[in-house]
Structure 1
Amino acid sequence: MSYALRHNPQKYGISLDKYGYTNLDGFIVAMNRVHHFSPALTKEKINMVIANSNKKRFAIKGNKICALYGHSIPGIIKHQVAVPPAVLFHGTARRFMPSIKEVGLLPMQRQFVHLSTDVATARAVGMRHDSNPVILQIDTVAARKAGVNFYIGNNQVWLCDELPSQFFKEIQ
């Protein structure tokens, strides 16, 4: 589901609207056609995935489904600017720190920079690339005053376009 809705909808013959949604029935047909699921993927199974996911990556509205964040397709999702908590966190590999200190946090292969609401989540994200990741603490109040926009990803993830280095400090 993530791959189809976040990275390569064309592979499945589906199209996403400007908010990242696609027709749920068509999505199910496409997923079953490409992957030959046995038993077949159904609305009920998708609802179970959504209900049991701690990351809340997907949403269904009416008969449409979307991935809420994590897209690698530029410009696919339009988020509304929102006010984040005063402090957010970002976990990253130590080898990336020289570049991050120089140019700030950039989305790289994603549409947005992903920030966490707690240190534990940031550490888990950073550990994908480093067994001893760096944890950055983000001053969202100062960043917002300087014009950085933040967007809600879900209850644990906030997004921004990019974040200059003056708005974070290394805490671990």
Structure 2
Amino acid sequence: MNSIYQFSANSIAGETVALENYRGKVLLIVNTASQCGFTPQYRELEALYQTYKSRGLEILGFPCNQFGSQEPGDSQTIAEFCELNFSVSFPMFEKIEVNGKHAHPLFNYLKAAAPGLLGSQSIKWNFNKFLVGRDGKVYKRYAPIVSPSAISRGIERLLKND
């Protein structure tokens, strides 16, 4: 597989979404959690989305409970939390696993395309961010400690590459 367009995932409402629907967009794909020290990053992610969505950015949030059980809720609970606390309007998906034998195939692809520190493919914590170009290829991986606002330069660069 040479791009993310071969994958699909279930939206937080339970509908299958083909990532092909995002062809031609710049994507920021994030594994999220509602009870994490990085959870306030939802606010910055939403700000990025509002700033750049008219130019072709989509942010895709994938809740994950693999790190400290910090996403224990079901889809409805997660959706309500994101809306009420952070006014999240970007697409959110059903809770997934990002590591291990049950890892979502999309995240296996992302990890292989953009390994972490020292070539590690595993995701170490919530709020890893993968920036994907309009061609569906992974441009860069950002650690949880990198704030979403710090990614704006990379987003700008990819949005200008029409």
**TM-score, normalisation: structure 1:** 0.26
Q: Looking at both structures, which has the greater relative contact order when contacts are Cα pairs under 8 Å and sequence separation is at least 6?
A: 2
**TM-score, normalisation: structure 2:** 0.27
